[in-house]
Every structure is written in C-alpha cells, then in structure tokens.
Amino acid sequence: MHTIKLTIEYDGTNYHGWQIQPGFTTIQGIFQESLSKILGKATKIYGAGRTDAGVHARGQVAHFYLQKYFPLEILHRAINATIPNDLVVRKIEEVPSSFHAQYSAKGKEYRYYILNQSVRSAFYKKHALFIPFVLDCDQMKEALSHLVGTHDFFALSVAPEKMNTIRTITRADLFKEDNFRVISLEGTGFLHKMVRRIVGTVIDVGRHKIPCTMIPEILQSRNKGLGGLSAAPYGLYLISVKY
C-alpha cells in the first residue's frame, strides 16, 4: 500500500466547498472521480480540512492510498488532465504510511484579501472583498495582536456550544499589497468560519465601528453577537498546511 500526498491549488468560485455533499459539485468529489477513472476503481481522497463554498486554496493538502505502484509523474499529468482548469495538483509525492492530511497537520496559514480602493474591480469580484471606505490599518493590526495566543474562539466562530473551542493562533498580521489589504493568520487549528468571523470583526475595527481594545472582551464573553459578521468567502485563501 502506498500513501500519496497531493498539494492542490483551486479557485473555489464554482464549487460548493471541499467536502463531498450529495447534489452539489465539490472539490473532493471532482478529485475522487478523477482518481477513480485513472485507477479503475473507487478511490477515496482525504483533505487537510474543509473549505467553504467560494473559498480558494493555494496549498490545500490531501492524500489517498494506492494498492499498486503507479509512476507519480504519469499520475500527476493524468490527474491534471482529467480535472477542470480551475483546479490543479501542484505537487505529488509518496509519503510514509503514517501520514494523514488532516491528523498529521501541525498548523495552517490563511490569508484574506481586501481590495481597498474607491472603484470596484471587474477582475477580483470573486477573489477579494471590495471595500471602498478608508480602513484604519494601525487599529486593525492592534486588533489582530490581541488574537495571538491560546484563547476560546467560541464568540468568533459558528461552533456549537458543547464543542471545544480553544484554539491557538501563532501569528496574525496585516500587510499591504498594491491596493489590497491582506490579513494573514497562522494557527494550530481553526473552527468553522473562525477566520471569516475574525476578518469581519477586524474590518469593523478598521472602520471604527468597534474599538480594537474590545477584542479580548469579545473572546471572554463567548457572545457571538459582539463580533463582526462573517466576511464573504471569496476573499479567503488557504495558503498552506504545516506538517
């Protein structure tokens, strides 16, 4: 048995997220169809984590099992030839049998792209959140600094009450890239819609709707109504998974 690791890039615009869902076109579903066709048998693929409908990835990781060896260069070309052109396998490699895309992961990096200019873009409407208002980047950076460390992120997620919502963020930055404001978050794990709730809250700080000093209070309150709304999915990118 061979364990094969894929590093995948995708534009999530046309998909109902990563995970297979009956009646919807998903990225996991597309890859399983491709592999099953190439290998001549039903093949399941395991992802490092779910991404929501419309969310993109530059470094999603997945793995699957091969019973018989298949030349990886040929397999790489075959997969890319049988999937839509808004999906691509960037790298394929054999890894130890103990590897699991989800359970072996040590952390992830996400970036959220905000197009901050006076006029909308025809090209980035499904790839960045357009905000024509002035954003106070210094206050946004201060807000992000309060998120670093181990906290209860129940208030900034859609996790259910009984779930363990303690998570660790190891880095939280904001930087400029041309007319984009990019929020970058690294952590050991993220709750469902946690990144998008954080981004929505930090944007509210940047627009002076809430003070940056309120972030610790929001976390401690466990009140989902205090933070900002979830930012739109199309500005979010899974950059990499750490092992």
Specify the amino acid at residue 214: M
Given the residues 11, 52, 138, 178, the one annotated as active site: 52
| The pairing of beta strand 56-66 with beta strand 46-47 | antiparallel
Tokens of 215: 């972030």
52 is catalytic: yes
Residue by residue, DSSP assigns 27-92 as HHHHHHHHHHHHHTS----EESS---TT-EEEEEEEEEEESS---HHHHHHHHHHHS-TTEEEEEE
Residue by residue, DSSP assigns 193-205 as THHHHHHHHHHHH
Instruction: Name the residues annotated as catalytic.
Output: 52
